[in-house]
Structure 1
């Protein structure tokens, strides 16, 4: 899981990031809110943890800009403010949850897990890695906001690989996974399909690597 933590208190940012990384999560930190919308566009994150009392633009304005660009990323507010109206304002502005400082790191980790579970339930019909997104219900694929043209065969193979990203998939599995292929499909037919997909998904920041003697591996470039 990839998390962007926006906190201008250096000690708190470091201790919070360390606790999150202890769960084997990737955590990037930023002391300011201004770069956040661009960072979310450029990198795939699963959660934004956002302090309200930031220098420069505060957490409320940062969240407004994030939601204005269409991001549905789960957002957890961190705040030292006790006023109920601040919590209400944050939730109405698009935050999914909040924690009041000082907070227990164990509670933070539990809140993070719960938010990501809810987010995954909402996006159960979508596969996404880096800038590539596959809408399984609409049977449409996108790189960023640009539609990606795929044949029926390419759709089946890419969906199978994307659901198993970072795992080696054998040619035999790909043949069986594609509804339009016979079990005895030639190795050459699979290789042609893989070659076409490789070129199509490269702009999304993905690499489709051949693992000699084993199969194929879809990973971030």
Structure 2
């Protein structure tokens, strides 16, 4: 499952350049050209990282960054600011507003990609780890295998992606619409009740009468991977798979 990056940039050639290179790295990219459009998009769906231009129509990048940090849902959202302003005072202002990193135009694409990887590694390790571990459940992204208490489980591709998506954010409740976007993608038009069917299949595949169900149903809201399951069974662990 790809890490999602929102590009907020009003220069179309630069947006196309960023999209091409980010998608080549395996990221899923969305883009908007106005700051106010970006604010609306962030209320609809929270990406894993934002590349944010300083000068934007509608709402400046600086103001949008302030609003991102002011919302509880996005206060920890990684933000890299892109700008032609290279003076020290401007860099300090951008970082003081809440940006995690600051890149001056024109910039090296390999350097930007390296900074994206470094920021994700620091702030969202689950999105770059090869092995997700929660309690007695292990999900290996490289081999597409899932084990529970050492026993290999047989999951379909959709159930695998669904479990992976939920395990990345233990405790967070996702609506059916958010799960559809995160697991199936924006361009797939299926009924939200399809989520219920696949959650049922996932539960059947990973649970037995003797085991705890790590997937929590939140009535009227959606589903989450129960953080108390992860803590009670030994905690959520992340491994790069390089040991």
Change (3 A) 1:11 1:105: same
Q: Give 1:94's aligned residue.
A: 98
Aligned to 1:46: 48
Matched residues in 2 for 1:133 and 1:104: separation? 32
Bigger-Rg structure (1/2): 1
Partners in 2 of 1:6 and 1:52 — Cα distance? 9
Residues 1-221 of structure 1: pairs in structure 2 closer than 5 A: 1-70=3-72, 71=74, 72-121=76-125, 129=165, 134-135=170-171, 142-143=173-174, 171=204, 173-175=206-208, 181-182=209-210, 200=218, 203-204=221-222
Distance, in Å, in 1 between the alignment partners of 2:30 and 2:118 is 20
CA distance in 2, matches of 1:133, 1:120: 10
Residue ranges of structure 1 left out of the alignment (5+ in a row)? 136-140, 145-164, 176-180, 184-189, 207-221
TM-score by length of 1: 0.61
On the 8 A contact 2:22/2:113 being kept in 1, the answer is yes
Does the 8 Å contact 1:133/1:143 carry over to 2? Answer: no
Q: How many residues align?
A: 164
Cα RMSD (Å): 3.9
SS in 1 for 2:124: helix
Distance in 2, Cα, partners of 1:2 & 1:122: 13
- Asked if the contact 2:10/2:34 (under 8 Å) is kept, the reply is yes
Poorly superposed stretches of 4+, deviation over 6 Å: none
Flag the structure with more relative contact order, 1 or 2, with Cα contacts below 8 A and sequence separation at least 6.
Answer: 2
CA distance in 1, matches of 2:223, 2:87: 43
Match of 1:155 in 2: none
Contact 1:4 1:28 in 2 (8 A): yes
**Unaligned 5+ residue runs, structure 2?**
135-162, 176-197, 225-243
